[in-house]
């Protein structure tokens, strides 16, 4: 059976005059039935617009039979796919799709037990989430053949790689809303697997990036010659994670030194957040998480560096992307009226280090995390960064054990009070979000000033300018000047001068 584009699969559900219904033949360079390496490089010689070639590696991955996997057909809500392929209207879907791609990529990186806790170098991940790579993935499905543009010459031209990348991410976001994360992860994971296998760690050897090593050196220098505490056992009971939680959140809201010599936590005003009864919700099926996985989630990278044991950096990288996906999905589905800029600000507020660290605090992770500290330091408190990384690692470990559906239900209950408060103006904790607010306000002020600025009289009564180019001279006058006598017949023939 011949391969078709996702839009062709639902063409029978669309009106005949829908401009997205049929592919634009002038944009097609090769058949969709061509081998993947041909589809990926079909626009490498395109000059206008310029398509940068896909140069990830010297060789292509080994593609399985029937690659790429088919996108599920949008038969229930074809309008979602139409919206995804409509530029300048698909921004929310593109934004969600970006988070889905990142989450699926890390899910596949940590899919095998041997690599579940091995941190992945960012140099390996970055090539698989950039515009060029994702734009080329769109070519595998003929995304470039469907694009809402004005009828005319531009309709025949191939869209830019950035535009195809945005449309592909929007299709991924639409798939998340249409089929859920599990089915989207199965399709998108199959698409990314050949590339992941080239970039994933080749062994379970654990390595730390430069930031983690710098942190370890700083901690050891701070502790000096103090004898270090030995390995603490991890209490796996659910009750131990939820002992008197909300009081911890409110107590650490006041800036103070945490521990004998630890850095201060940054203030986060939680007075504007309405916490429902029973907050925080219990982590789902924590008893089903493997003890080794939970132990790793509660082991800081600095502790691993000094004492050994598996650190939480691997699960933390996965959990960070899952938290980003959960918050993004909630904002897109619950706050549809918010502008794209407002959605970005909401997510920045709720994924701020101070907020995520406090989520770790309300779950009592500070009582279980193994960090490098002196024997004399009896306090349970930890730094904000350590609490944030522990929470993200717990999310990653829970996901590996039970999957997305139950994890998302828990994350929804955990994050929604914060998202609602950020939307209502009761949460202002992120410096990045504050910077975006100021930038947005400055742009709006410029727009208002431009609209309110009165037009000068000279501009209202401006004379019609007629430009006549003869030789190297340009005339701008009320009436066109008389052309030189020897040029008049030539200009009359070209329709420039009246006889």
Convert 45-57 to b/e letters by CB count within 10 Å (16 or more is b): ebeeeebeebebe
Alpha-carbon span 359 to 327, nearest angstrom? 14
Residue from 159, 143, 166, 145 nearest 96 by CA: 166
Domain 6-199 and domain 210-449, same fold? Reply is yes
Residue with the two structure tokens 């203030």: 267
Reduce the DSSP state of residue 371 to 3 states and report it: coil
The answer to whether the peptide bond before residue 280 is cis (omega within 30 degrees of 0) is yes
DSSP letter at 235 equals: -
Residue 285 CB-density burial (10 A; 0-12 exposed, 13-18 middle, 19+ buried): middle
User: Longest C-alpha distance within the chain, in Å?
Assistant: 102
Alpha-carbon span 429 to 270, nearest angstrom? 9
Residue from 355, 370, 311, 345 nearest 441 by CA: 345
The answer to whether the peptide bond before residue 306 is cis (omega within 30 degrees of 0) is no
Q: In a structure prediction context, what are the per-residue pLDDT tens digits for the chain, which is 499 residues long?
A: 578 888 988 988 888 888 888 888 888 889 999 999 999 989 987 777 788 888 766 667 889 988 999 998 999 999 999 999 988 889 999 999 999 999 998 888 876 443 444 445 455 677 888 999 999 999 999 999 987 665 555 667 888 899 999 999 999 999 999 999 999 999 999 999 998 887 765 544 444 555 555 555 555 454 444 444 444 544 445 455 555 555 555 544 433 333 333 456 777 888 888 888 888 888 888 888 888 888 888 887 766 665 556 666 778 888 999 999 999 999 999 998 898 889 999 999 999 998 999 898 888 887 777 776 655 555 556 788 888 988 999 999 999 999 999 999 999 999 999 999 999 988 887 777 777 677 777 776 676 666 665 555 555 444 444 333 434 444 344 444 444 444 444 444 444 444 4
The three-state (H, E, C) secondary structure of 395-429, written as one string: HHHHHHHHCHHHHHHHHHHHHHHHHHHHHHCCCCC
* Torsion of Cα atoms, 5 then 10 then 16 then 19, to 10°: -50
Residue ranges per structural domain of the chain? 6-199, 210-449, 460-493
Query: At the topology level of CATH, where does 210-449 sit?
Result: Ribonuclease iii, N-terminal Endonuclease Domain; Chain A (1.10.1520)
The three-state (H, E, C) secondary structure of 278-308, written as one string: CCCCCCCCHHHCCHHHHHHHCECHHHHHHHC
Query: At the topology level of CATH, where does 6-199 sit?
Result: Ribonuclease iii, N-terminal Endonuclease Domain; Chain A (1.10.1520)
> Does pTM surpass 0.85?
no
Which token pair is 484? 């030189």
The residues facing 476 across adjacent strands are: 467
Parallel, antiparallel, or unpaired for β 466-470 and 473-477? antiparallel
Residues 431-474: tens digit of each pLDDT: 777 776 777 777 766 766 666 655 555 554 444 443 334 344 44
DSSP letter at 477 equals: E
Q: Residue 454 CB: number of other CB atoms within 10 A?
A: 7
Residue from 60, 86, 57, 85 nearest 141 by CA: 85
Which token pair is 265? 């936590």
- Concatenated DSSP letters of 104-169: HHHHHHT-SGGGTT----HHHHGGGTSHHHHHHHHHTTTGGG-----SSHHHHSPPPHHHHHHHHH
Which token pair is 27? 């944009």
């Amino acid at each position: 059976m011949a391969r078709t584009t996702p839009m062709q699969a639902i063409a029978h559900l669309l009106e005949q005059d829908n401009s997205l219904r049929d592919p634009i033949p002038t944009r097609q360079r090769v058949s969709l039935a061509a081998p993947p390496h041909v589809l990926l490089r079909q626009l490498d010689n395109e000059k206008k617009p310029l398509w940068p070639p896909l140069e990830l590696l010297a060789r292509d991955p080994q593609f399985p039979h029937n690659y790429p996997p088919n996108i599920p057909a949008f038969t229930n809500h074809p309008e979602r796919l139409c919206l995804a392929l409509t530029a300048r209207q698909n921004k929310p879907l593109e934004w969600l799709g970006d988070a889905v791609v990142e989450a699926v990529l890390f899910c596949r990186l940590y899919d095998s037990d041997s690599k579940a806790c091995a941190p992945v170098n960012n140099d390996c991940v970055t090539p698989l989430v950039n515009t060029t790579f994702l734009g080329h993935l769109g070519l595998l499905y003929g995304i470039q053949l469907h694009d809402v543009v004005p009828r005319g010459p531009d309709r025949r031209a191939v869209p830019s790689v950035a535009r195809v990348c945005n449309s592909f991410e929007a299709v991924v976001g639409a798939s998340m809303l249409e089929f859920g994360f599990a089915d989207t992860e199965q399709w998108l994971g199959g698409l990314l697997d050949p590339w992941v296998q080239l970039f994933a760690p080749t062994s379970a050897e654990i390595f730390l990036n430069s930031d983690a090593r710098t942190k370890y050196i700083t901690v050891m220098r701070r502790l000096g010659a103090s004898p270090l505490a030995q390995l603490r056992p991890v209490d796996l009971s659910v009750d131990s994670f939820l002992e008197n939680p909300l009081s911890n959140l409110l107590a650490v809201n006041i800036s103070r030194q945490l521990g004998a010599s630890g850095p201060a936590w940054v203030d986060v005003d939680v007075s504007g957040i309405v916490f429902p009864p029973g907050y925080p919700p219990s982590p789902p099926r924590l008893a089903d998480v493997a003890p080794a996985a939970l132990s790793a989630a509660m082991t800081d990278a600095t502790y691993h560096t000094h004492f050994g044991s598996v650190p939480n950096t691997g699960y933390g990288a996965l959990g960070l992307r899952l938290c980003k996906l959960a918050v993004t999905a909630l904002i897109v589905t619950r706050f549809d009226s918010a502008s794209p800029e407002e959605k970005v600000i909401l997510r920045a507020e709720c994924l701020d280090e101070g907020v995520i660290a406090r989520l770790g605090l309300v779950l009592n992770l500070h009582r279980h995390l193994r960090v490098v500290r002196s024997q004399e330091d009896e306090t349970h408190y930890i730094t904000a960064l350590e609490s944030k990384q522990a929470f993200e690692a717990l999310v990653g470990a829970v996901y590996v054990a039970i999957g997305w559906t139950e994890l998302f239900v828990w994350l929804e209950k955990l994050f929604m009070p914060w998202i609602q408060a950020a939307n209502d103006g009761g949460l202002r904790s992120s410096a990045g979000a504050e910077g975006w607010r100021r930038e947005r306000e400055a742009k709006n002020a410029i727009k208002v000033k431009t609209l309110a600025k009165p037009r000068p009289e000279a501009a209202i009564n401006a004379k019609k300018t007629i430009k006549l180019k003869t030789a190297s001279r340009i005339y701008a006058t009320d009436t066109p000047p008389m052309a030189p006598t020897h040029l008049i017949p030539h200009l009359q023939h070209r329709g420039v001068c009246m006889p």
